[in-house]
Amino acid sequence: AVWILSDSRSSIQHLKDWNNVGDRTSISILKLLRHIGVDHEVHLQWIPSHVDIYGNEVADNLAKQGTAEPLCSTPSLTFDEIYSIRKNKDLKTWRVPPSHDWYKRSSPGGSIGLSCDRADQTALSRFVSGHLRSCSFSHGNKVFPVCVKCGVASASPEHILSCLRLSRETFETDPLLALDFLRVSGLMDGV
């Protein structure tokens, strides 16, 4: 038999009314008692506290020793539980929009609101997104042709900005001016 001595009368009375228990702690205690009760007879007994009754000090000492022991480990997770946790984490990550400044457009085709022809809108969208027409791939890497303005470095969007002494903000605040710079510099064909 297992005897559980407690100086908390309200706790024992709460567990005694097990049909109406709804809080997690009590449900957890009842599950553990049921688990112990499979092999042992379980008795809960109230012992008055702060009275010089033999056994009260014993109960206090046993309670203190019990709190010092490590909690039993939880059972290992199943594959389905691990999959579900990982899937929820991934979904939360995917719902966060990318922080890169190329993705600051409010919607696809963000340049379409400009009053210019379709070729200029396409060129602006390609430049801002980094998908230049002159870009090719070699062994999985982006390869840009040599810049026609300076003839020194490859004409990546970053290089074109520095070569023209423009900032990315210029494309956001005054896109038509930025397109004119590309056109005058002879870089429009690569965009």
* pLDDT (tens digit per residue) in 6-41: 878 778 877 777 777 777 888 888 888 888 888 889
Choose between 60 and 80: higher pLDDT.
80
Structural domain count of the chain: 2
Cα separation, 191 vs 126, whole angstroms: 7
Band (pLDDT 50/70/90 cuts) for residue 113 is: low
Place of tokens 């290992």: 76
- Is a pLDDT exceeding 60 seen at residue 110? no
Is residue 100 one of the residues assigned to a domain? no
Is residue 92 one of the residues assigned to a domain? no
Is residue 98 one of the residues assigned to a domain? no
Q: What is the pTM of this model?
A: 0.36
Domain membership of residue 180 as a residue range: 118-185
Q: Where among 31, 53, 68 does a domain terminate?
A: 68
